[in-house]
Structure 1
Amino acid sequence: MSSAQHLLLKQLLTAATGPLARRRPRLATMRLAAEAAAVFQFVPWNVFLEDADVDGMPAEWLRPAQAPAQRVLLYLHGGGYVLGSLNTHRALVGALARSCQLNTLAINYRKAPEYPFPAALDDARLAYDWLLRQGYQPHDIMLAGDSAGGGLALALLLSLRDAGQPLPAAAIGLSPWTDLVLPTAMLRRVCHEESQILEALEIRGWGPLYAHQTALSHPLLSPVQGALHGLPPLLIQISDAEVLHDDVLAFCAKARQAGVPLTLQVFEGLVHWWHLFWRFVPEAQQALNQVGTFTQGVWAAQESARAVLQASGRRARQVPRGQSRRV
């Protein structure tokens, strides 16, 4: 059962968005409201904010105290490819950086409809390449994103893989948008929640704004439609009450079938974007803590594999030339 804090949040969101579901606001109004709400967001204690310029793209570092210098998290914010900014997600990214103990680079990628596909993907790839040029190794980089940003992170993996580029160590999707082809059945499933009706109606419109002249089923728009082999370890978090729940489960099933190491964590009864409210919703802090546990597990597995390789190399050097060791 959801916490009392989440139940209160849900009531507040329903009260705020219910009227909007009947009279849908303009995109400019929603952008302004999102930026206004960001005024109340603060970077967590012991996380330090630093402006960055990624080849002309606005970005910022969120650096937890004691975070290792050689590892980095690249964060792609959500907002349906049309909303959101560094401001709207700063507190969440800072909390995630602290949970993972990773220096985190957040970017302000271009938004539709002014900049349709593939602008956001090009910006995400630009940021990844920029990190490589700064000296970070692929195995020391992780990707993360929420909602559309989570889908963008998965699309970036597919793009890098298909281009033959080295992939990052892992990727994290917080309620990722994996399929822009949203079926009518999805609307019927959430029709009892006014806040979810607004969410469903809006994202059905936002997808085509981003896709523009590209089919919504294109794998770099809808990763669930693509071949998923060869991807690094993935962590996917979703709530069973979210609009995107069924699509995320379909993506996870397909990824596992393709041999991708995937951790799926399903939360009960939570609203979309519950991670944003980590300051007072305990389920959000729990989810971020589990992300931290996942990242530590990835690093531990790397260290273990490295130790095995080093041990194998030492044993090989101990065998005299021309002889073989009995196994």
Structure 2
Amino acid sequence: MTQPVDTPAVEAVIARVKAVYGRWRRDTPVAQMRADWDQLFGAAGEGTFAPLQLGGVPCAWITAPGVAHDQAIVYFHGGGFQVGSLQSHRELMLALSAAAGVRVLGVDYRLAPEHRYPAALDDALAVLQALRAQGFAAQDLALAGDSAGGGLALSTLLALQAQQRPLPAAAFTMSAWTDLAATGESYVSRSAADPIHQRPMVQAMARNYLGSTGQADDPLASPLYADPAQLRALPPLLLQVGDRETVLSDTERFAQRVNAAGGQATAQVWPGMVHVFQQFLHALPQARDALGQGGRFLASQLQRHHPGESRP
């Protein structure tokens, strides 16, 4: 995290995102929002994209050239549980595949408002069960995700633990949304610095996802509220977040709680960076650096169970 911050480059990234958000109104159809989001991020790179169904859930194998196929990263995209797709995150997943040296399985989990909590979590668990049925050992899998998808990755670990099922080897998150109640102090301290995500917007997204029955302090929706025994048993975690994010506290507090419980969580706060800056691979050197670090972390954890093998 030693790269100097190129403020004009960051501001250009912010302008791109605000140009999309700025077109949305209360009556903008969700289908239009999703199409806009895919267009903003829907770049592709060198590698393969192979759609399939796993556990009844649409997915895709995203494979960088020359990577291993005997282990995998299961990826949950962000988008507030309302937008985002395998297309919007295709380039990011491909870069993560290259950095970790293994395939990435992108999960196209069901979105709100058509499908509210716990539909996304149910899909995540169904996909992992299907992978196990195909012969993947739990320790040959790792989880990753950004924003809402980062929170979903952590909730999935907690759900697996509650079901007494084996846990993946590790998890890597970017700007994870761990507190749907939005209680962190960064919603105040970073409100002027964050160009997009203010507390009322975040709370509205939470209501949209939870519906009338979900609770914002349910650990399977907001992993921050898991009890210490659950947090202590989690696999190693790498949690990245930008310093210009109102959801900064979501990462910092979650990592603090895991470590206080006796678990292993590393929180990286990237100076000058905004929400899921890792998606802007071509504009920000920090994005490339951060994603490279995340990939190497996951590779190192997966290699612990295949010590004789090497990964890029």
TM-score using structure 2 length? 0.88
What is the aligned partner in structure 2 of residue 219 from structure 1?
Answer: 219
Matches of 2:191 and 2:254, distance apart in 1: 23
Q: Structure 1's 97 and 18: CA in aligned 2 closer, same or farther, altered over 3 A?
A: closer
Query: What do the CA deviations read for 1:14-67 (whole angstroms, capped 9, x no partner)?
Result: 76368569x66735242231133345x11x22x211111113321110112222
Amino acid at match of 1:275: Q
Q: Structure 1's 17 and 269: CA in aligned 2 closer, same or farther, altered over 3 A?
A: farther
What is the aligned partner in structure 1 of residue 201 from structure 2?
Answer: 202
What is the aligned partner in structure 1 of residue 276 from structure 2?
Answer: 273
Query: What do the CA deviations read for 1:204-243 (whole angstroms, capped 9, x no partner)?
Result: 2010111111211001011010121211111100111111
1:117 Cα offset (Å): 0.6
What is the aligned partner in structure 1 of residue 264 from structure 2?
Answer: 261
SS in 1 for 2:106: strand
Q: Is it true that 1:135 corresponds to 2:138 in the alignment?
A: no
What is the alpha-carbon root mean square deviation over aligned residues? 2.4
Amino acid at match of 1:55: G
List structure 1 segments (4+ residues) > 4 angstroms apart after TM superposition. 17-21, 184-187
Matches of 2:155 and 2:220, distance apart in 1: 5
Whether contact under 8 Å (1:14, 1:194) holds in the other structure is no
Whether contact under 8 Å (1:13, 1:195) holds in the other structure is no
What is the aligned partner in structure 2 of residue 108 from structure 1?
Answer: 108
Matches of 1:134 and 1:297, distance apart in 2: 23
Whether contact under 8 Å (2:242, 2:276) holds in the other structure is no
1:6 Cα offset (Å): 3.2
Whether contact under 8 Å (1:18, 1:195) holds in the other structure is no
Q: Structure 1's 130 and 199: CA in aligned 2 closer, same or farther, altered over 3 A?
A: farther
Matches of 1:107 and 1:169, distance apart in 2: 18
Among candidates 31, 34, 37, match of residue 34 of structure 2:
31
Please, which runs of 5 or more residues in structure 1 have no aligned partner? 307-327
Amino acid at match of 1:26: T
SS in 1 for 2:204: helix
Matches of 1:85 and 1:257, distance apart in 2: 35
In terms of Rg, which structure is larger? 1
Matches of 1:49 and 1:10, distance apart in 2: 26
Whether contact under 8 Å (1:51, 1:59) holds in the other structure is yes
Please, which runs of 5 or more residues in structure 2 have no aligned partner? none
What is the aligned partner in structure 1 of residue 168 from structure 2?
Answer: 168
